[in-house]
Amino acid sequence: MLNRTIIGATLFVVASLLSSSNASAQDAGTATLREPVTVMGITAPSERLKLAIPVPGIVLERKVRAGDVVKKDQVLLQLDDRIEQKALDSLNKEAKSTYQVAAAAADLELRVVQLERKEKMLQQMVVGLSEVEEARLQVKIGKIRQDLQTQELEIKNIERDRQELKVGMMVLKSPIDGEVEAIDVGPGEWADPQKPEGLVTVVKNNPLWVEVHLPTAQAQSLDRKRPLVVTTVGDTKGVEAKIIFVTPRADAASGTQMIRLEMPNANNRASGLQVNVTLPENVAAVAEGR
């Protein structure tokens, strides 16, 4: 009877050990097959510009429409600049004219010659000192006139350059490669530079920004030099995106921080879409308490 009891106890211990070993193996297998932790993010344009023309005027021509892909420095709108262009042509001619400066220089040269002649005549006692002093004053007056004409020409050049800038401001160009999101004015309409929403909105979707909100503890655990994998909803393959910004101020109400990623977008997908951001194991473990 005693032998049976000992054998039964031994078998029970062995069974318990085997059961414990199998449970550990199952846990290890579960850990190995653990699904990666992802969080939802939203894509946004890397640039979104509301463009305006700094001078008021009537739109002469609209060069693009909403949805058009544009290049940097491409013309979007042209105001009616015909009057301003005529004024520029006139100022340009005046700025290039050197006749007044040349005339003042020739007049000064004549006065210098007359002074030299009278100084010789004074040595010969032909003229008096007063005539020489008068000639010297005439030379000074000639120099002043020459300087005045030179300054006037410089002022005309400045006025020409200013008018040229004004004419240039009557053309709205895209400062970036992108796509026209909206254009709110057309030919014949008044372009108001004070319009808060601007005249043309241009967005740049390559690269895209991805904005995701993480609990502060997770945000602090991120390695900012390590890219995260972003997968667009419906896709099976993700894209690496680098961390470009972590908001320095956490939201106390939600206990989160905003993380901004920069993701290449060669296919020019629209912004504003939901994406899944895969967290590194160490960051995911923070939330799970591992």
Rounded to an integer, the average pLDDT of 252-263 is 95
Domain that holds residue 88: 81-168
Mean per-residue pLDDT, 24-40: 61
d(Cα 12, Cα 208) in Å, to the nearest integer?
Answer: 62
Residue 8, domain member (yes or no):
no
| 92-101, Cβ contacts within 8 angstroms, sequence gap of 24 or more | 92/160, 94/156, 94/160, 95/153, 95/156, 95/157, 95/159, 95/160, 97/153, 98/153, 100/149, 100/152, 100/153, 101/146, 101/149, 101/150, 101/153
Model confidence, pTM: 0.70
The per-residue pLDDT for 290 is 55
Q: Which two tokens stand for residue 5?
A: 């009891």
Domain contains 260: yes
CATH of the domain at 229: 2.40.30.170
In contact, 206 and 268? CB cutoff 8 Å: yes
The pLDDT confidence band at residue 25, using thresholds 50, 70 and 90, is very low
> Coil, strand or helix: which one is 216?
helix
* Residue 67 located in a structural domain: no
pLDDT at 34: 58
Residues 160, 85 within the same domain: yes
Q: Is the predicted pLDDT of residue 242 greater than 90, yes or no?
A: yes
Give the pLDDT band (50/70/90) at residue 13: very low
Phi, psi of 53 (to 5 degrees): -95, 130
Domain count, the chain: 2
The CATH code of the domain that includes 147 is 1.10.287.470
Domain final residue pick, 168, 195, 229? 168
Q: Where are the alpha helices (DSSP H) in 170-280?
A: 216-221
